[in-house]
Chain A
Amino acid sequence: MANPSTSKEVAATQPVTAMSVIAPAIGWLIPGAGHLIQKRWIRGLLLMASIVIMFVIGLAMQGRVYRPNGGDILDILGFVGDVGAGGLYIVTRAMDLGQGAVAHATADYGTKYIIVAGLLNFISAADAYHIAIGKKP
């Protein structure tokens, strides 16, 4: 088990490199790209395929894409999850997709697919950051 104080000391001594800023940012914008620019080709492609396919299937199932809102807490959280998909969310909003009413059960699955694709992309971007700072091989 890692010693917390040692981990903090290690984190405090990590220099902020350009890659540690760029990798998570580009990884958020384009799923998997944070790994690809660090030459983790297979990991990057698998992450990209998983997140993009999940997002597209969500849209194909007539899932709903949340807009920025200040209403119900679940709607706000839905928006936060959707934004995690980065460029996919931006393109979807620009093309005005994902605005159908959720009329059947699989459409609700689609909404969840889109949210979870975004959340998984957040994890992926964090992983790209850990690779960039040398915490992970």
Chain B
Amino acid sequence: MNLQLSHFSSAVLFGLFASVVFGITQRSTSREQIRYGLYCFAMFVGGVFVAGWAMWLLRR
């Protein structure tokens, strides 16, 4: 089995799984868990875009 994902999809999948675990383990109520999981996922994906643009600027 040889799975080859792009950098973007690898980073987004990574953020998704990590966010699920962070949401469940770092908050107590279901509502807070969902909100925190979504917040973490948004931060992960936002971080990917920020890092992507930063690398693009550095490369120029």
Q: Which residues of B contact A106 (CB under 8 A)?
A: 3-5, 7, 10
Interface set of A (CB-CB < 8 Å, partner B): 43, 46-47, 49-51, 53-54, 57, 59-62, 104-106, 109, 112-113, 116-117, 120, 123-124, 126-127, 136-137
The answer to whether A47 touches B5 (Cβ under 8 A) is: no
Q: How many residue pairs between the two chains, A and B, have CB atoms under 8 Å in the bound complex? A: 62
Is residue B49 contacting chain A, with contact meaning CB distance below 8 A? no
B4/A51 in contact, CB under 8 A: no
- Flag if A46 contacts B25 (CB, 8 Å): no
Are A51 and B3 closer than 8 Å at their CB atoms? no
- A-B contacts, 22 of them at CB < 8 A, read A43-B24, A46-B20, A47-B24, A50-B17, A50-B21, A51-B17, A51-B21, A57-B3, A60-B3, A61-B3, A61-B10, A62-B2, A104-B4, A106-B7, A109-B7, A109-B14, A113-B14, A116-B14, A120-B18, A123-B21, A123-B22, A127-B24
Does more than half of chain B's interface fall in helix, strand or loop, or is it mixed? helix
- Judge whether A127 and B25 touch: CB under 8 Å: yes
Closest to A108 in B: B10
